[in-house]
Structure 1
Amino acid sequence: MNTYQEENQNLSSGFFIIGFSNTAHPLRLFFFALFCPMYMVTLIGNLLIVTLAVRDQALHTPMYFFLGSLSTVEVGYTLVIVPKMLAGFLMPGSRAISFWGCATQMYFFVALGGSECFLLVAMAYDRYVAICHPLHYASIMSWRACVQLLLASCAGGFTLSLGLTILVFQLPFCQSKCVNHVFCDIPAVLALACGDNFLNEMALLVACLLILIFPFLFILVSYSHILRVVIRSCSAEGRRKAFSTCASHLTVAVLHYGCATSMYIRPTASHSLEQDKLVSLIYINVTPLLYPAIYTLRNKDFSNALGRVLAWQRYA
């Protein structure tokens, strides 16, 4: 068989997502019963944030514009992974995925995850300007600037994802086509490639630096400036309000970057795919569930907006 025929066979054969197929059937049913309600609550919570951010005039501010955008990205981010993962718990045949299906899943997972990382930076910048430069806030964080930051965040995520996906799927896959993960994650797919993956591992490391490390450092620097300004110039009540406003965003940033960094900032050879599968269940199911709760819990603006929308629906 010549090289061209081998490549065509490689493309057509696709992959098989192992997931937790080796575990007992009752345990897979337990996973489905546990994570399916989590996904539905995550979906409803993010859609509720988007609806309120769009419909309520009081939430038409840069902070809630970015929060609504973040929730929109989060809906797509979980939609790419979770439904097929849930189907795999119940139907073994659904674990099969084509070559291009695997590439598409990886592309959108990395693209939306990267966009979320950059959006968290935009939100930190918004809080920095609001607290450290309040007199210039309206001119700096204009609607045009907000849209530009949103587009730049998405462009950065999707561009980096395209490069990474092309690098991974141009490799020859000469080993087993069984992806030892719950979705087509980069380390799990790289483990199936033959040959030297050094350049791809370096590309993954550079992408992680651009998507995870540098943005998180920017957020930490922003909040260090915010903390200094708040402590020096605010009253006790002002400090309480400032900390309340920033605490939710900082909590989500630590969760998001912390989980992602623990999964990807290490050599592929040192990855334990079995361990990664367990960590990924938390990363793609539990942490997205916490985000809407963190942002809306004790948030008077959202509580008031929800009350107004419910009242409008009741009397419409």
Structure 2
Amino acid sequence: MNLYQLRYFALLAQTGHFRKTAEQLCIAQPSLSHAISLLEKELGVTLFEKQGRRSVLTPEGTEFLKYVEKSLLALDEGILNMHHLAMGEGKIELGFLRTLGVEFVPEITRKFLEHQQGKNVCFKFNTGVTPSLIEGLKDETYDIVFCTKCENASDIEFIPVARQDLVVIVPRNHPLSKRCAISLEELAPYSQVYFSRASGLRSIVDDLFQKVQVKPQIAYEIEEDIVIAGLVSKGFGVAIVPYMTELLRMEVKILQISHPYWERNFYMATLKSHHLTPAVKNFHDYVAEHYTDNSDKQHA
């Protein structure tokens, strides 16, 4: 039994004529008759009987047709879906740092969708911190993630896509609030709201303080930068966080770091062993092609 026999059978059941069916299939009538005969032989039942000039289904043929039509419908739907996927349509599972969800991710995904007009492409957006995003990438929950770079991750490809400066934030009524820039040595006397060890920024901030030989006074440890900013705005301490536009709407004063200089780099990460669907690959290639300009704008 093969697919051709099933399609021949379904069409013959519809037309009721071997000649018409053969013409529609563009095959010789003897070839059609032979295919149906082999199918009946394999099933062990008679599928058609003659009624005048027509070939009509037997009760067994009527029963078998139900299964054939369901199977062909499912198969045709699958084939159509594969054609859509091959055209670059489908869903893209995207994970990203919350701070990138304000401007970078909405902008680049919107531009990509405009570039893909006429195609049915959709994103599923997921936020998290770098360790959880990388874990989701490795277990193939996400197709692509935007995060900071992880060392000792040889199974992951990291492509730089954006940059972000680190800044100091203090409450608006803080003694340092009259300043516009500050050296990290000057933070030594003040309690800090600090990144927890689960955050990818923890080691970066630790390194900054090591460079200026200062041991920070850590009062609270939080994983997410926006929560840190919220605590600072209510007077729980000062903090080093990546610059984000939300800070402009909060009760904090933003201070540039005059020494030591540092910027935070963001990367597009994909699992090297994970097959990318055409839609995902199109997005990956689009980001890789346009990241340089976007990165320069982010830094400007």
Q: TM-score, length-normalised on structure 2?
A: 0.25
Between Structure 1 and Structure 2, whose CA radius of gyration is higher?
A: 2
Q: With CA pairs under 8 Å and 6+ residues apart, which has the higher RCO, 1 or 2? A: 1
The structure in which a higher percent of residues are strand is 2
Q: TM-score, length-normalised on structure 1?
A: 0.24
The structure in which a higher percent of residues are helix is 1
